[in-house]
Amino acid sequence: MREVFHQSLEDVQGRLVEIAELVTVAIDKATRAFGTSDVALAEEVIEADAVIDDKAIELDELAIEILARQQPVARDLRIVVSALRISASLERMGDIAEHIAQLTRMRFPERAIPKGLKSTFTKMGALDVEVARKLTELLRTEDPALADEIRNDDDKLDDLHVSVFEKVLSDTWQGEASATVDATLASRYHERFADHAVSVAKKVVYLSTGDWTVETDTIDVVVPVQ
C-alpha cells in the first residue's frame, strides 16, 4: 500500500510539474505578445488555456481518487490536499497569462503597452517568466532555496507594480484614459502572477519540511500609491 501511495504521489508531482511547464510557456508567450503586440502569439495563449484547465481538472480527479482509495492520513493526507490547492493556483496563473493575452488582442493593431512604460513591463514580463521557471523547478526538486528566490522576485515585481502607479499618477503622465486603464490592469496581472507563485512555493516548502501551518493565500499590493 505504501509503495502504491508513493507511486501515486510521484504521479501527482509529475503532473504538477507538467502544468507548471505549460503555465511557464503561457506567461512567456503572453508577456512577449504584450510587449510586441503580436496578436497571433496572444491567440495561441488564449487557445492553450483550455489545456491547462483540463490538466488541472485531471489532477484534481486523481487526487480525489487517491484520497478515496488509499485513505492517507497525517503528512500523506496533507500532501494530497496541498496538491489540490497548488493545482488551483497554477490554473489561476494560466488564467492571468490569458488575461494579458486578451489585453494584447483587444488593443491590436494598437500597442497594448502604454508609452513610457515599455521598459517597466519588459522587466515585469521577464521576472514573471523567471518566477514560473523557478516554480516549475521547485515543484520538481523541492529545493527551498528556489522558494526564497521566488519571494525575492515577487518583491521586485511589487516594486515595479508600484512604479507603474507612480508613473501613471505623476504630473508628466500624458497617457489617455485608455492607456491608464491598460497600465493599471496589465500591471495588476503581472504582479498577481507572482503572488500565486509565492503561495504555491510556500506550500511546496511545507511539503518538504513538514511545517504544516495552514495559511490563507495571497499577499496583495492593492494600493496604487501612498
217 near a second copy, rule: CB under 8 A: yes
Report residue 208 as a C-alpha cell: 518538504
Concatenating the DSSP letter of every residue in 42-94 gives: HHHHHHHHHHHHHHHHHHHHHHHHHHHHH---HHHHHHHHHHHHHHHHHHHHH
Is residue 81 packed enough to be buried (19+ CB in 10 Å), middle (13-18) or exposed (0-12)? middle
Q: CB 174 → a second copy: shortest distance, Å? A: 10
Q: CB 156 → a second copy: shortest distance, Å? A: 21
Q: CB 35 → a second copy: shortest distance, Å? A: 18
Q: How many residues bind a second copy (CB under 8 A)?
A: 49
Q: How many whole angstroms separate alpha carbon 135 and alpha carbon 147?
A: 8
Compute the residue count for the chain. Answer: 226
Which positions from 9 through 68 interact with a second copy, judged by CB under 8 A?
A: 53, 56-57, 60-61, 64, 67-68
Which residue of 51, 169, 209, 210 would you call a contact of a second copy, by CB under 8 A?
169
Q: Which is nearer to a second copy, 39 or 77 (CB)?
A: 77
Report residue 161 as a C-alpha cell: 507594480
Residue type, 5: F
What is the binding site for a second copy (CB under 8 A)?
Answer: 53, 56-57, 60-61, 64, 67-68, 71, 73-74, 77-78, 81, 84-85, 88, 91-92, 95, 98-99, 102-103, 106, 165, 168-169, 173, 175, 177-178, 180-182, 184-185, 188, 214-218, 220, 222-226
